[in-house]
């Protein structure tokens, strides 16, 4: 049985909308520090899980988190708050996907929403043996999706140049240590 987005001669192409994921939780005491504010690590975990669901909907295979590229903690999230996280795939590459995740709190009395955090995560599709797997292409459809699609490539290029820079630094450091006089 084939996907409605593919034919035997063409690969699967999925839309951003088909990857969307949403999670809501009420912040409990075990989620907070002694001041009653949501722990950053707990929020990161929630973002990772919501992002993973979006990536899974796109790849339809096992995934690993390869990077949390950037995270902004904009406002504190207090005990008892309702937090909602929304994620979708921004761009699919060969075996990886960038997923954008945003978090909002909702005032329980007024329903007012407040943006509290944003992050970009990279997931890699793998098989049962842990080997990278190809992922479907992504088709952005709206101006906002097209902007996020283009921006994801810029972030990927930045990640790759940073990786190269760190590798050069590591080799230079190792070479300097090898030539340094022993004490």
Q: For position 64, what pLDDT does the model report? A: 98
8-state DSSP, 29: G
Residue with tokens 């909602």: 84
Residue whose C-alpha is closest to residue 67's, from 166, 168, 177 = 166
**Domain limits, the chain:** 13-179
Three-state DSSP state, 162: helix
pLDDT digits (tens, 9 = 90+) for 128-142: 999 999 999 999 999
Its CATH class, for the domain covering 13-179, is alpha beta
The reported pTM is 0.86
């Amino acid at each position: 049985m084939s996907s409605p987005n593919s034919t035997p001669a063409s690969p699967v192409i999925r839309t951003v909308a088909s990857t969307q994921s949403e999670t809501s939780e009420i912040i409990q005491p075990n989620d907070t520090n002694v001041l009653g504010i949501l722990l950053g690590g707990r929020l990161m975990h929630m973002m990772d899980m919501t992002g993973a669901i979006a990536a899974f909907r796109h790849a339809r295979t096992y995934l690993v988190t390869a990077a949390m590229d950037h995270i902004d903690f904009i406002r504190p999230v207090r005990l008892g708050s309702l937090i909602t996280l929304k994620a979708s795939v921004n761009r699919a590459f060969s075996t990886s996907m960038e997923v954008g995740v945003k978090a909002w709190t909702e005032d329980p009395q007024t329903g007012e929403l407040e943006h509290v955090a944003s992050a970009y995560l990279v997931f890699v599709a793998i098989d049962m043996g842990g080997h990278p797997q190809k992922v479907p292409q992504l088709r952005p459809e709206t101006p906002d999706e097209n902007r996020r699609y283009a921006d994801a490539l810029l972030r990927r290029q930045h990640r790759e140049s940073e990786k190269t820079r760190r590798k050069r630094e590591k080799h230079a450091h190792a070479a300097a240590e090898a030539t340094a006089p022993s004490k």
